[in-house]
């Protein structure tokens, strides 16, 4: 943890005043109208309100709102209203002052923003709802009225991440998880590239400290080499740009540590096999907006004269910007070391929008008002979702994330109108995007005059006609066809109308089944039944029963009653719980009170015990050496996930109070790991693989599947290992076999 050494009162006060003067200096150096007096008043008000309060690190609390205000002016370019709101953003939440006090002293506009930034105290989705999801919904509701709310919230989260070292480990996991799950993609969507990158890297640093240090170390080691390569790459271009009269600068951009890690994890490749670690950015001065695109293409031509350009990697966002307002021309050219280098061509204005974010630049820096921007279109989508919010907070977050994470494609209507949809969108998505009625009755589509089904994925440039029928009605399986937030939300609303009756009917069927079999209904039994069928909620279980998707007919049950009861008892048994004597009563065992897990201390995992003190989840298959965290379920069992597991990301964001920091406390040769091999096929390759594993390394192979196509073989095998170190040694040994070109862990 970061420690703050207390200072004498006078010295501490001077430190606080100096921090505030830095904010004022940055404001006075900006091009905003100078409203120093109201900023001074906001600072004095906040300082008095937070007097005597300290952060967890021990430093005076007022330093936090001052730091947020500094980010608001220096890194987002916002003005006096936003600076005041940043200084006051925790006053209503953490002190006795109210919104009315803020409005009386600073006016309704600042009061509205502060209210939007104040966290929810009650539960608007019910007792079991995620507080973070509720906060996020409140944030979006406020954001739809004033974008400055979300921009200040980004500054607040950024400073919290910068000072995360003072928190306990389980709190670090929770906050870092929320950041990656919600705030980083939201920053991306709003075009806050610098903030998004820093949020991701800070979250990565706390979730995977060893991997973070390793990647940063390797990037730093190769810095001199990169500088030489980039200098050689741009030398002929500089001469031509100078001759053409351009005023410009060329920067070398290094891929962020989190982006490198993400690519290594996604593609299962080592650091040395990532070839786009660096890129070149050309930023030119431009005094005529009408000539901006033409000058981008002129610079593009200069690059193509001296370099080989990859034919499939040119991206033109100068004519059709991204939804967050990003505009640039990208190309990929061959570098002097035989590696591809991405080149980003931007005007100074394009660069400012890309770095600061379109929202800040567009509305509050230039004062331009244009309701037909891509940003406003996205805002309208958010408003549509908020108009019919999900009753379940987590569903709501997932629905929102469909928009936050998505890349865009651009498709045309039969009349030639351009629509922006998320990548992966289908014909059904487009139908709901145009109008709910069109989505309800959609039966097929015509893509480029060719008939296609509802679930046909669209690509940029497609011209799409929606075909409808008045007899068509929405179906449950359509949820699998939707990739846009609006389509998912509309479809859920439509299906919910019929779901209530099905749910009640399914509940009656289930209760009758238990009564007939002489089984007492319990929550534990229902939980195990849900897990057996792979369902997320009891409602889904009941609806499937009512729809005959799950069969529990008395005739079938009577024919296999013993097997069914045996299965039910097996489902109810906790495989990691201590075994009771054979004559112990199962019901008595289930009634034993669980021992609470202390979330405030690191939980030591003991895989070498006869009965491990945790439970592993199949979704990510962690093994000793992996960065893991624990989730304490209702029965006080510690369920272990990899920190990078998508399900863990959901838990970190949504159930932060149930997290516990974990650490491996032993080894045991009982963990299943899967490895994929590929290489050049030859006689005896399979024998060499099995001999290396079984005889030389004494590895227990659990399964092996090998296929060959022409001269290339692919092999997938699973084995038992005791740690990631052992697995690394196995993979290195496999790479040493003649003909094996790659070996990587895939579980």
Neighbouring C-alpha atoms within 13 Å toward the C-beta of 113: 22
Q: What's the rounded Cα separation, in Å, for the pair 90 and 66?
A: 11
Q: What's the rounded Cα separation, in Å, for the pair 426 and 459?
A: 9
**Residue 471 burial by CB count (10 A; 0-12/13-18/19+): exposed, middle or buried?**
exposed
Closest CA to 57 of 4, 133, 105: 4
Q: Would you give the DSSP letter of residue 442?
A: E
Q: What's the rounded Cα separation, in Å, for the pair 107 and 411?
A: 45
Q: Contact 731/678 with Cβ under 8 angstroms?
A: no
Distance (Å) of CA 461 to CA 405, 416, 430, 715: 21, 11, 13, 38
Q: Contact 614/589 with Cβ under 8 angstroms?
A: no
Which residue matches tokens 């907070």? 393
Residues with Cβ within 8 Å of residue 502, at least 6 apart in sequence: 542, 543, 546, 547
Q: Would you give the DSSP letter of residue 636?
A: S
Beta strands in 183-301 (DSSP E): 248-254, 278-284
Measured at the CA of 88, the angle between CA 82 and CA 93, to 5 degrees, comes to: 125
Residues annotated catalytic, as ranges: 93-94
The encoded tokens of residue 48 equal 């008095």
Tell me, letter by letter, the H, E, C secondary structure of 531-580: HHHCCCCHHHHHHHHHCCCCCCCHHHHHHCHHHHHHHHHHHHCCCCCCCC
Strand 740-745 to 671-680 pairing: antiparallel
Question: In the chain, what's the furthest Cα-to-Cα distance?
Answer: 92
Q: What's the rounded Cα separation, in Å, for the pair 438 and 440?
A: 6
If phi > 0 it is left, if psi is from -120 to 50 it is alpha, else beta; for residue 284 that is: beta
Measured at the CA of 357, the angle between CA 356 and CA 361, to 5 degrees, comes to: 80
Q: What's the rounded Cα separation, in Å, for the pair 600 and 582?
A: 37
CA–chain centroid gap for 90, Å, is 26
Contacts of range 45-54, beta carbons closer than 8 Å, 24 or more positions apart: 45/87, 45/88, 45/91, 45/105, 45/106, 46/87, 46/88, 46/90, 46/91, 47/16, 49/91, 49/95, 49/97, 50/90, 50/91, 50/94, 50/95, 53/94
* Cα-only R_g, the chain: 29
Q: Would you give the DSSP letter of residue 289?
A: G
**SS3 at position 619:** coil
Strand 615-616 to 638-642 pairing: parallel
Burial 167-186 (b: 16+ CB within 10 A, else e): bebbbbbbbbbbbbbbbbbb
First to last CA, the chain: 32
Q: What's the rounded Cα separation, in Å, for the pair 389 and 137?
A: 9
**SS3 at position 132:** helix
Q: Contact 631/592 with Cβ under 8 angstroms?
A: no
């Amino acid at each position: 943890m970061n420690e703050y050494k207390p200072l004498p009162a006078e010295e501490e006060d001077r430190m606080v005043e100096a921090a505030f003067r830095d904010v004022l200096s940055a404001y006075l150096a900006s091009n905003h109208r100078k409203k120093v007096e109201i900023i001074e008043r906001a600072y004095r008000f906040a300082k008095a309100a937070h007097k005597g309060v300290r952060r967890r690190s021990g430093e005076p609390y007022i330093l936090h709102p001052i730091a947020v205000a500094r980010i608001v002016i220096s890194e987002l370019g916002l003005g006096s209203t936003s600076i005041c709101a940043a200084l006051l953003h925790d006053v209503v939440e953490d002190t006795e002052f109210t919104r009315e006090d803020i409005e009386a002293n600073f006016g309704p506009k600042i009061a509205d923003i502060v209210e939007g930034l104040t966290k929810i105290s009650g539960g608007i989705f019910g007792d079991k709802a995620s507080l973070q999801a509720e906060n996020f919904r409140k944030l979006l509701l406020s954001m739809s009225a004033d974008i400055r709310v979300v921009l200040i919230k980004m500054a607040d989260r950024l400073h919290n991440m910068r000072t995360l070292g003072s928190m306990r480990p389980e709190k670090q996991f929770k906050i870092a998880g929320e950041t990656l799950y919600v705030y980083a993609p939201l920053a991306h969507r709003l075009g806050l590239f610098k903030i998004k990158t820093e949020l991701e890297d800070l979250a990565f640093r706390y979730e995977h400290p060893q991997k973070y240090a390793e990647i940063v170390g390797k990037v730093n080691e190769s810095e001199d080499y990169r500088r030489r390569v980039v200098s050689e790459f741009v030398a002929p271009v500089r001469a031509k740009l100078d001759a053409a009269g351009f005023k410009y600068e060329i920067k070398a951009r290094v891929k962020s540590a989190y982006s490198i890690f993400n690519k290594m994890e996604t593609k299962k490749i080592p650091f040395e096999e990532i070839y786009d670690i660096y890129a070149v950015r050309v930023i030119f001065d431009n005094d005529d907006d009408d000539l901006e695109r033409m000058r981008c293409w002129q610079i593009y031509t200069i690059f193509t004269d001296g370099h080989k350009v990859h034919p499939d990697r040119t991206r033109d966002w100068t004519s059709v910007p991204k939804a967050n307002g990003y505009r640039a021309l990208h190309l990929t050219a061959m570098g002097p070391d035989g590696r591809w280098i991405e080149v980003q061509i931007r005007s100074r204005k394009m660069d400012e929008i890309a770095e600061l974010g379109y929202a800040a630049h567009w509305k509050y820096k230039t004062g331009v008002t244009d309701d037909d921007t891509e940003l406003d279109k996205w805002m309208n989508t958010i408003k549509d979702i908020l108009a019919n919010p999900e009753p379940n907070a987590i569903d709501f977050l997932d629905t929102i994330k469909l928009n936050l994470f998505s890349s865009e494609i651009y498709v045309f209507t039969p009349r030639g109108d351009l629509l922006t949809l998320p990548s992966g969108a289908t014909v059904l998505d487009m139908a709901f995007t145009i109008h709910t009625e069109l989505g309800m009755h959609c039966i097929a589509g015509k893509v480029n005059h060719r008939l296609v089904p509802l679930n046909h994925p669209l690509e940029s440039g497609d011209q799409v006609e929606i075909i409808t029928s008045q007899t068509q009605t929405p179906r449950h399986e359509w949820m699998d066809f939707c990739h846009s937030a609006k389509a998912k939300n509309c479809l859920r609303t439509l299906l919910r109308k019929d779901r209530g009756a099905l749910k009640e009917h399914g509940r009656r069927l289930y209760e009758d089944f238990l009564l007939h079999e002489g089984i007492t209904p319990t929550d534990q039994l229902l939980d195990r039944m849900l897990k057996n069928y792979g369902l997320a909620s009891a409602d889904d279980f009941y609806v499937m029963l009512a729809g005959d998707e799950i069969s529990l007919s008395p005739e079938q049950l009577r024919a296999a009653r013993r097997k069914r009861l045996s299965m039910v008892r097996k489902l109810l048994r906790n495989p990691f719980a201590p075994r009771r004597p054979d004559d112990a009563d199962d019901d008595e065992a289930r009634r034993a009170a669980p021992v609470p897990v202390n979330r405030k201390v690191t939980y030591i995992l003991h895989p070498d015990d006869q009965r491990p003190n945790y439970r592993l989840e199949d979704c990510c298959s962690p093994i000793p050496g992996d960065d893991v965290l624990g989730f304490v379920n209702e029965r006080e069992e510690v369920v272990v996930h990899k920190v990078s597991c998508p399900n863990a990301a959901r838990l970190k964001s949504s159930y932060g109070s149930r997290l516990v920091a974990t650490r491996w406390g032993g080894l045991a040769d009982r963990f299943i790991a899967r490895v994929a091999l590929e290489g050049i096929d030859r006689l005896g390759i399979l024998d060499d693989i099995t001999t290396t594993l079984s005889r030389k390394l004494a590895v227990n192979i659990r399964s092996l599947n090998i296929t060959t196509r022409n001269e290339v073989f692919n092999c997938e095998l699973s084995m038992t290992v005791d740690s990631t170190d052992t697995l690394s040694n196995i993979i290195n040994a496999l790479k040493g076999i003649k003909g094996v070109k790659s070996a990587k862990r895939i579980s």
